Amino acid sequence: MLNNRLRRRLFHHILIAVGSVALTVIFMHFFPKRDFISRASIGTAYPALFLTAAALLLGPLNVLWRKPNPVSFDLRRDLGIWAGISALVHTAFGLNVHLRGRMWLYFLDTRYHLRRDAFGFGNYTGVVASLIFALLLALSNDISVSKLGVERWKSLQRWAYAAVALTGAHAIAYQQVEKRSLLFEVALYILLGIVSIFQLAGIFKRRQPRARP
């Protein structure tokens, strides 16, 4: 019989998976004139972004609400797992949208020089972010924590911040490349702003001296 923790985590995964699929379908419907691969690329991008933001907000919220904020806890880990899965699925679709059969042209121009345009920048940041997400997925389990030790595991997990920064840069670049509507741009900047504000607030709160009883 499943213990309480396993039941709770199973509930998390089912709920997050259903939410991720629902968001994917919703965003795919915003672009009905595109083909399936293009819509799937866009549809999986936004769940990855929202789930990553949610995982990053939990820590600062615990700090601000004076709740325990352990190195790792299940809800944050489970959100991070599905953020990573969504990001990797998005990458798989995304690398087949614009230049099908010529994937190298996402990173090199026709003279085989590194791209120096917004398209290249968006692709460089996106693929590096995906590699970091793959690393974080591989670490998102109790065995990794036990084998690496808490301090080393946590130092590797901090690469999540680099992945988020790269994801934000990738998203901003593609807003310009694909000339997305103002509504999508505003929503992206609001989301990035919220995450940044709460991260800074959490850092500031942690650095405040605790009041003596």
Q: What is the pLDDT along the chain (213 residues), one digit of tens a residue?
A: 558 888 888 888 999 999 999 999 999 999 988 899 999 999 999 999 999 999 888 888 887 877 766 666 788 889 999 999 999 999 999 988 887 778 888 898 888 889 989 999 999 999 999 999 999 999 988 888 888 888 888 888 889 889 989 999 999 999 988 888 888 889 899 999 999 998 888 888 777 765 554
Q: Which contacts of 84-87 are long-range, i.e. CB under 8 A and separated by 24 or more positions? A: 84/133, 84/134, 84/136, 84/137, 84/140, 85/20, 85/137, 86/20, 86/24, 86/44, 86/47, 86/48, 86/51, 87/48, 87/52, 87/129, 87/130, 87/133, 87/167
Could you give the domains of the chain?
Answer: 4-207 (1.20.120)
Contacts of 142 (CB under 8 A, 6+ apart): none
